Amino acid sequence: MKIDVESEVPVILKFGPTTTKPGIGFNTLPDGESYLWFKTANVNDVVEVRMDDETLNSTSSIDMITCLVPKKFFIKPGDHKIYLFCPGTGLTSNTVVFSVK
């Protein structure tokens, strides 16, 4: 699938990690929280990261976003759909999958 990075639609170019094992944290912060990073295009400072349609606590810059991932999303095996949502325009990005296996 070709992704148009010239449009106004937010785009996830890369993200990580893409997988973890059940109950195992990733990119762990000193307080024990886990987070994902996203290389992006066409985002602004109000874009939201949504995992399984739930908005996650995130921080964005020009082309990078990080977000905390609650443990409920990686406590048991399964796939979780992630996308970016821009509340001002209603536009959504491509969807990526974070796998717990």
DSSP 73: G
DSSP 69: E
Q: Report the Cα–Cα distance between both ends of the chain, in Å, rounded.
A: 25
Number of domains in the chain: 1
Rounded Cα distance, 61 and 87, in Å: 17
CATH number at residue 62: 2.60.40.10
> Tokens at residue 48, please?
């939201």
Residue 19 inside a domain? The answer is yes
Residues 46-99 pLDDT 10s: 899 999 999 999 998 878 999 999 999 999 999 999 999 999 889 999 999 999
User: What pLDDT does residue 93 have?
Assistant: 97
Residue 3 inside a domain? The answer is no
Amino acid at 17: P
* pTM of structure: 0.90
Q: 7 pLDDT exceeds 90?
A: no
Q: 2 pLDDT exceeds 80?
A: no
* Residues whose CB falls within 8 Å of the CB of residue 36, separated by 6 or more in sequence, listed in order: 15, 16, 17, 26, 27, 49, 66, 67, 69, 82, 98
Residue 71 inside a domain? The answer is yes
Residue 52: give the domain boundaries.
11-100
User: What pLDDT does residue 64 have?
Assistant: 95
